[in-house]
Amino acid sequence: MDKRTILLLVLEAAVACGSGQPNVLLLVVDDLRPVLGCYGDPVAVTPNIDALARDATVFTRAYAQQALCGPSRTSFLTSRRPDTTRLYDVHSYWRRHAGNFTTLPQYFRDHGYHTVSAGKIFHPGIVSNHSDDQPYSWSEAPYHPPTQAHKQDPVCLGSDGSLHTNIYCPVQVEEQPGGSLPDIQTTRHSIAWLREWAGRAPQPSQPPPQQPNPTATQQPNPTATQQPFFLAVGFHKPHIPLKFPKQFLDLYPIQSVPLAPNRGLPPGLPPVAWNPWNDLRWREDIAALNVSFPYGPMPDEYARYIRQGYYAATSYTDSLIGDLLTTLDHLFPDTIVAFIGDHGESLASWVQS
């Protein structure tokens, strides 16, 4: 789903909502595969996203423009293919490298919206000019959760009782650096922003005092309206490392987690198309498996743990999305909601009272 699709949904929903400028919430989930109940996954426990999907347009043929965060996010946020943005990696900024393209939030901002970002929307670093594309895209400074600084810290409790830098990393949240996790902080910030924005809503103007001339026509002031918002909230999980509150493992007993049906090397696959998962191999738990490079398979037992962790991290994100949508429905019931994984699957809806 690209920028033009989201804009079309805004126009369609505006008619249904009876408003020319409805509020918009864009949810972006990092490295989300279609492991959701609404996409037919029999294992996934994702009740909040599934509930959103029931009242949504669900896209079943939404493909990744590029299987990497930087180019794929730049693509759907500028509505241009990587061949146009000339971005296939994470080493350049499109405005300087390819063209001064208008972004999705910039478009909304240029058309009267207050645009706000929390969490991972643009890919960080040079891809978004180390600024989340400021000053072009956002009305406020983008929010990034401070605990994201501990992404690679050794915080995963191993069987030896020590802390490690692992891929599979269920944790006790209160024991983490900062006493929280990035997506929890992003969700709380977004909920607080919605409540604060609701508190800014102008009240209807008071009628003017009685005119001394009884024959004069009294004209009441019109009710003031609040500026519409475009709020983009980006969740880091289930991107690796699979760090999530450990209670979400209870949803997926290890014996119930199936192995991937396509876990072998496909016959005739050209080497350029094979990902030897270098970004996993240096983690302590993966390194300890001593898997041969580049085609060695991961042992079935640990592959099952990785899949369990991915499902649990997805359910963790689903729970946070549920908290956010509950607040949105209470404060701003006529809001368009667009949901997208940054490498493909997407759905869009609007919440109505």
Q: Which amino acid is at 112?
A: G
Reported as a single tens digit per residue, the pLDDT across 161-203 is: 999 999 999 999 999 999 999 999 999 999 999 999 999 877 5
Rounded CA separation 337/27 (Å): 8
Check residue 349 and give its pLDDT.
77
Average pLDDT over residues 316-344: 94
Rounded CA separation 99/218 (Å): 55
Residue carrying structure tokens 């996409």:
39
Catalytic, 123? Answer yes
The token pair at 218 is 């009294």
pLDDT-derived band at 22 (thresholds 50, 70, 90) equals very high
Phi, psi for residue 3 in degrees, rounded to 5? -60, -40
**For the chain, percent of residues with pLDDT exceeding 90:** 69
- Close Cβ partners of 269 (under 8 Å, ≥ 6 residues apart): none
User: What pTM was estimated for this model as a whole?
Assistant: 0.89
Catalytic site residue from 17, 38, 123, 343: 123
Check residue 335 and give its pLDDT.
95
Catalytic site residue from 69, 169, 239, 343: 69
Reported as a single tens digit per residue, the pLDDT across 42-55 is: 999 999 999 999 99
Rounded CA separation 196/228 (Å): 14
The token pair at 165 is 């830098």
pLDDT-derived band at 211 (thresholds 50, 70, 90) equals very low
Check residue 316 and give its pLDDT.
98
221 pLDDT more than 80: no
Average pLDDT, the chain: 88
Check residue 16 and give its pLDDT.
53
Catalytic, 38? Answer no
